[in-house]
Amino acid sequence: MTRQTAPLPEILCIGSVLWDIIGRSASHMRQGSDVPGRITRLPGGVAMNIAMTLARFGMRPVLLTAVGQDPEGDELIHACHELGMETAHVYRSEDLPTDRYMAIEGANGLIAAIADAHSLEAAGAKILRPLTDGSLASEAAPFEGPVALDGNLTLMLLEEIAASPAFARADLRVAPASPGKAERLRPFLAHGRALLYVNLEEAGLLCQREFDTSEAAAAGLIERGAARVLVTNGNKPACDGSAEGLVTGCPPEVLVTRVTGAGDTFMAAHIVAEAEGCDRQEALDRALRAAARYVSGETAF
Ligand SMILES: Nc1ncnc2c1ncn2[C@@H]1O[C@H](COP(=O)(O)OP(=O)(O)OP(=O)(O)O)[C@@H](O)[C@H]1O
Ligand SMILES: O=c1[nH]cc([C@@H]2O[C@H](CO)[C@@H](O)[C@H]2O)c(=O)[nH]1
């Protein structure tokens, strides 16, 4: 007898999909250091990192991004496909190179990083064509499922998305790409429907003030017009804020072995928990546990 399996729930992941080039050294580093170490290349970009975690947690991420038709682009598309992502709707540019991110990490943490997402920025609204040309959705039948959107897109395109009928029925969940790009998410404050995932620092940048707790940050963002926000704060309590009130949860205590990626893991686990029908408190607690397990070095949901 063949067993019928339910199709995996689909989620659009919109934003950066690029190659991360990471140089790591066991030495303490400072400006001008020239030290022995390892240099690796792996798929990265915020949208890709979220998609990878969503795929691990049992969803089917559909990527909307720009990738070059260069050999680096072919290899990246192949890697994404192998990781369980739908790549058929990716905009493959003939003339733009595949984007790259480069970071240097020493024993004393991240020394510096440069995100070259120029091709994504130059491609602009072309990456969104499948939402209007009928391949994923159309003007008459806009996309109605979940969307994870990253803040690597230009402010102009993010403003367009916030106002676009193509996203009017979507369950829009937005994450900043880096603290440096946090302010690009401002169009989603007045948006009325989007859910923002931010850490305490990013919440402060969006509200142009400092917050001491995730509760204060969530309340501040709601006051500024956000419909719903999830504010994390490392090992301290995180908060889910909306007009209905604030829900707080505390991450379990763990021994930290890695931190980069904690926010993406939190967001993906939270989306999956809500897709499975968890209420606000349960979804927050599950996401906090998943992200804490991630920073401890374990990865299971
Ligand atoms: N030291 C820690 N102990 C336990 N859980 C942690 C710790 N650091 C992070 N986490 C988990 O990860 C979640 C997100 O962490 P954080 O607020 O640092 O996000 P972030 O700054 O966006 O992360 P990153 O940018 O490093 O991916 C926390 O809410 C928590 O569940
Ligand atoms: O501006 C950006 N900075 C960093 C990232 C990505 O985040 C990860 C590091 O925090 C890494 O995968 C990088 O590509 C990005 O997409 N845009």
| Domain range annotation of the chain | 10-17+45-97+124-296
Please determine, for residue 1, whether its predicted confidence score (pLDDT) is greater than 50: no
Which residue's CA is minimally distant from atom 5 of ligand 1? 292
- Looking from the CA of residue 197, the nearest atom of ligand 1 is 22
Residue 300 has what pLDDT? 54
CA 260, CA 20: separation in Å to the nearest integer? 13
Residue 196 phi, psi (nearest 5): -100, 135
Dmax over CA atoms of the chain, in Å, equals: 65
CA of 177 relative to ligand 2 center, distance in Å:
6
Q: Is the CB of 176 under 6 A from ligand 2?
A: no
Q: How confident is the model at residue 257 (pLDDT cuts 50, 70, 90)?
A: confident
Q: What is the pLDDT of residues 213-247, one digit of tens each?
A: 999 999 999 999 999 999 999 999 999 999 999 99
- Looking from the CA of residue 150, the nearest atom of ligand 2 is 16
CA 212, CA 68: separation in Å to the nearest integer? 42
Substitution site in 211, 235, 285 for ligand 1 pocket (most atoms within 8 Å of beta carbon): 235
**Nearest CA to 93 among 116, 60, 52, 121?**
121
Query: Which class is domain 10-17+45-97+124-296?
Result: alpha beta
The ligand whose atoms approach the alpha carbon of 178 most closely is 2
Residue 39 has what pLDDT? 97
Q: Which amino acid is at 207?
A: C
Q: What is the pLDDT of residues 79-125, one digit of tens each?
A: 999 999 999 999 999 999 999 999 999 999 899 999 999 999 999 99
Q: How confident is the model at residue 197 (pLDDT cuts 50, 70, 90)?
A: very high
Q: What is the pLDDT of residues 131-187, one digit of tens each?
A: 999 999 999 999 999 999 999 999 999 999 999 999 999 999 999 999 889 999 999
CA of 6 relative to ligand 2 center, distance in Å:
33
Q: Is the CB of 181 under 6 A from ligand 2?
A: yes
Going by their DSSP bridges, the two strands 228-233 and 236-242 should be labelled as: antiparallel
CA 73, CA 220: separation in Å to the nearest integer? 41
**ipTM summary value:** 0.97
Q: Is the CB of 261 under 6 A from ligand 1?
A: yes
Please determine, for residue 198, whether its predicted confidence score (pLDDT) is greater than 80: yes
Residue 190 has what pLDDT? 83
Substitution site in 121, 178, 264, 266 for ligand 2 pocket (most atoms within 8 Å of beta carbon): 178
Residue 72 has what pLDDT? 98
Q: Is the CB of 260 under 6 A from ligand 2?
A: yes
